[in-house]
Amino acid sequence: MKPILLPYPVSANRYWRHFRGRTIRSSEALAFIRDVKLIAASEGVKKLDGPVELTLIFHPRVTRRGQASKIRLDLSNCIKVVEDALQGVAFEDDNQVISINACISNPLHGGGLSVDWRECHDQIYR
């Protein structure tokens, strides 16, 4: 599978909201999940059944000066948000993810996230 480009993820701090004693996903989180599903469907993404290796490349937003914004999401907080959005799309359950490679790369206008996943045949899992 080739990597797909997704929108810049919602912050982990804005992902959950508390409402009447319950913790629910925010409207921003639901919109991000919806967008991920639509993009994945348009790309013909197929769900993997076995252990998964996940590669995430975060692209900060470009400033008016054409430089990478210094205001960006914390890399480690983004990982769980993206795993949740890919659940049911790239894999059935995020507990299938046994390897994650994540980095910050070149900026894009509006920011973004390049995602790639593949079956992992690492012996550690077995």
Q: Token pair for residue 13?
A: 């701090």
Looking up tokens 């795993």, which residue turns up?
A: 83
Residues 96-105 as b or e (16 or more Cβ within 10 Å = b): bbeeeeeeee
pLDDT above 60 for 126: no
What does the pLDDT look like over 50-80, one tens digit per residue?
Answer: 999 999 999 988 888 887 777 777 788 889 8
Q: Token pair for residue 20?
A: 């009447």
pLDDT value, residue 50? 92
Q: What's the average model confidence in pLDDT over 102-116?
A: 91
Phi-psi region of 110 (alpha: psi -120 to 50; beta: other; left: phi over 0): left
* Res. 124 pLDDT band, cuts 50 70 90: low
Domains delineated in the chain: 4-119 (3.30.1330.70)
What does the pLDDT look like over 42-56, one tens digit per residue?
Answer: 999 989 999 999 999
To the nearest 10°, report the CA torsion of 92, 11, 38, 111. -130
